[in-house]
Structure 1
Amino acid sequence: MERHERIARAVELSGKKNVEIAAACGVKPSAVTQWISGETKSIKPENLYALADITGFEAEWLGVGRGPERKPSESNVSMATQPSRSFRYPVISWVAAGAWAEAVEPYPAGISDTYEFSEYDSKGPAFWLKVKGDSMTAPAGQSITEGTLILVDTEVEVSPGKLVVAKLPDSNEATFKKLVSDGGRLFLKPLNPGYPIEPVDENCRIVGVVVQALQKFY
């Protein structure tokens, strides 16, 4: 059976209309018609997986003719949508993050030997930090565990409720906390209730706002 015949069979048995298939795959209905007729010889992988998802057929069977026709069971894992663009940011130390505000160059030579990618397009100079300790590990709700990589954007607007990286006057290193407001004053609050809240005064410098967290399992 040719691929376009398998696609036609999948669409027919799914009971979906071409416009529904097109909407799920992010293409025009005419493209689906071309898939079914065989006029289009190539299909992008993301379209193929979307087609498999809406029809209930295996992507491998639709694309290359191997494997079972129907998915044997529902899965709790699906194909992630791939970002159209990615950006590379350095992974720096807590000491470097603490000295960020005093740096003449946003990315001085030798600041990092390690870089990580993100689909986030930063508003200003940005960098990754690896979380140390358990001060942001909460027993419930929002929690950032030790070892998590956090992406810090130094130009995002700072406001209460956001997670921030700050430099306290009595430390050479940066600290990672939640910025909160109480009685008209600002505080740096850890998510772990076992750690103290730090007041924000004129000597405390907010380095940037945490815009993304990434857990790596190796």
Structure 2
Amino acid sequence: MSNSKSIGQILRRIRREKLWTLQKTCEEADNIIDAARLSRIESTNSMPSLVAGYKIAKALGVKVEDLFNEAEGVISKPSGYEEKIPVLSWVRAGAMCSSPTSHGFSDCDEWISPPRPNMAPNCYALKVRGDSMQAPHGTSFSDGCYIIVDPAMAPENRSYVIAMTRDTEESTFKQLIMDAGQTLLKPLNPHYPIIQANEDMIICGVVTDMVSRIA
């Protein structure tokens, strides 16, 4: 499913987050357009002129290129962190799963270097909690390691995934098992139970890499 949006939808979201009226936004943009015109831009797929778009974006505190990136489903990163990967909280990862382009990376406090070149543009990292994915042998994810999540990758049988329950936005890290018509979320640690996935669960992304830090 595409996460693309219109420029108008994005401008409306940012304006509402700032609690600005249409008139206030136009005034802050030197009245480059009037409130009626801005309302039409927000509610349709019409585009502002280049000058108007620049002034409105500047008034709202965003860059024009960030608007186009979000419209294409690419989440912008702050200057100086373009090559880094943001470390998200598990709560925030669940929120991003519900609304992928409504949560940027600009206010992330922790960033890590990518483990390899050509990482997915919207990938993010999570810090593993607990030992449910720590296997007695083979592939294992220990408590405190970082996993890299690609939210755009399609999961396959035996993929490592981040799954979320829709109503609680509670996310979990497990191995996806699709077998005999069943969809299961399997911990690698045999001391933890296998979870039967149901219609309330969605896959937020596929884990592609692991990064461990040496103390």
Superposed pair shares fold, TM > 0.5: yes
Structure 1 residue 103, shift from structure 2 partner:
2.5
Aligned length: 133
TM-score normalised by the chain length of structure 2: 0.57
- Which residue does the alignment assign to 1:89? 85
Instruction: Look up the equivalent residue of 1:174 and give its one-letter code.
Output: S
Instruction: Look up the equivalent residue of 1:108 and give its one-letter code.
Output: G
Say which one has the larger Rg.
1
8 A contact 1:161–1:180 mirrored in 2: yes
8 A contact 1:165–1:174 mirrored in 2: yes
Alignment deviations for residues 162-218 of structure 1 (CA, whole Å, 9 cap, x no partner): 101111246443100000112121111000011111122221110100010011123
Aligned CA distance change for structure 1 residues 120 and 109 (closer, same or farther; 3 Å): closer
The 5 Å alignment of 1:66-77 reads none
The answer for unaligned runs of 5 or more in structure 2 is 1-81
Structure 1 residue 111, shift from structure 2 partner:
4.6
Runs of 4+ deviating beyond 4 Å: none
Identity value in percent: 36
- Which residue does the alignment assign to 1:186? 183
Greater Cα offset, 155-164 or 110-119? 110-119
CA RMSD of aligned residues (A): 2.0
Structure 1 residue 158, shift from structure 2 partner:
0.8
Q: Confirm or deny that 1:103 pairs with 2:99.
A: yes
Aligned CA distance change for structure 1 residues 120 and 156 (closer, same or farther; 3 Å): farther
Structure 1 residue 105, shift from structure 2 partner:
2.3
Distance 1:133 1:171 in 2: 20
8 A contact 2:163–2:204 mirrored in 1: yes
8 A contact 1:160–1:180 mirrored in 2: yes
- Which residue does the alignment assign to 1:133? 130
The answer for unaligned runs of 5 or more in structure 1 is 1-85
TM-score normalised by the chain length of structure 1: 0.56
Instruction: Look up the equivalent residue of 1:92 and give its one-letter code.
Output: L
The 5 Å alignment of 1:1-218 reads 87-103=83-99, 105=101, 107-108=103-104, 110-118=106-114, 119-169=116-166, 171-218=168-215
Alignment deviations for residues 89-130 of structure 1 (CA, whole Å, 9 cap, x no partner): 100001111111222526426551111111242345110000
Alignment deviations for residues 114-156 of structure 1 (CA, whole Å, 9 cap, x no partner): 1111124234511000000000011111111000100000111
